[in-house]
């Protein structure tokens, strides 16, 4: 098993050889499934797929996240919370552009999005 810190070291090492890397937004399901502890076959499969992607493919991307994702992980009540948050420590936040704020405000005004934009309501 590869630990997240070893994965981060490998990602940094390989980053020098990446060209035209794509950006990948890491939302809550990635750290949640990476540290999944449920034993049902579908949960074990999701944990395995997520770890395989993280350890073998994630270095191909510029990984980013948002403050909303971190807040959602922090606000949850689950046994692997500290592990999930640790996995996200080195992932930079996407900047919140004025145009995104305007879109969110328009969605809320038109009731296309909940007023409480934390968690799943704030994908930005």
Q: What is the dihedral of CA 66, 67, 73, 77, to 10 degrees?
A: -150
- Same domain for 20 and 53, yes or no, is yes
Do 21 and 37 lie in one domain? The reply is yes
Is 106 found in the same domain as 70? Answer: no
pLDDT of residue 98: 86
- Is the domain of 53 the same as that of 110? no
Q: Low-confidence residues of the chain, pLDDT below 50?
A: 16-19, 121
What is residue 17's predicted lDDT score, i.e. its pLDDT?
Answer: 39
Q: Are residues 22 and 61 in the same domain?
A: yes
Q: Are residues 116 and 83 in the same domain?
A: no
Count of domains forming the chain: 2
Structural domain containing residue 105: 95-124
pTM of the model: 0.69
Q: Do 118 and 65 lie in a common domain? A: no
Q: Are residues 40 and 17 in the same domain?
A: yes
Distances (CA, A) of 53 to 33, 70, 88, 102, 110: 11, 20, 15, 34, 38
């Amino acid at each position: 098993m590869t630990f997240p810190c070893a994965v981060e070291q490998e990602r940094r090492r390989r980053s020098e050889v990446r060209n035209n890397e794509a950006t990948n937004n890491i939302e809550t399901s990635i750290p949640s499934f990476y540290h999944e502890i449920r034993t049902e076959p579908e949960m074990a499969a999701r944990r395995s797929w997520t770890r395989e992607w993280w350890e073998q493919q994630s270095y191909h991307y510029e990984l980013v996240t948002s403050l909303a994702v971190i807040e959602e992980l922090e606000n949850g009540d689950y046994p692997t919370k500290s592990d999930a948050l640790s996995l996200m420590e080195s992932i930079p936040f996407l900047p919140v552009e004025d145009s995104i704020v305007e879109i969110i405000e328009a969605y809320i005004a038109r009731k296309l999005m909940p007023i409480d934009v934390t968690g799943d309501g704030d994908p930005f």
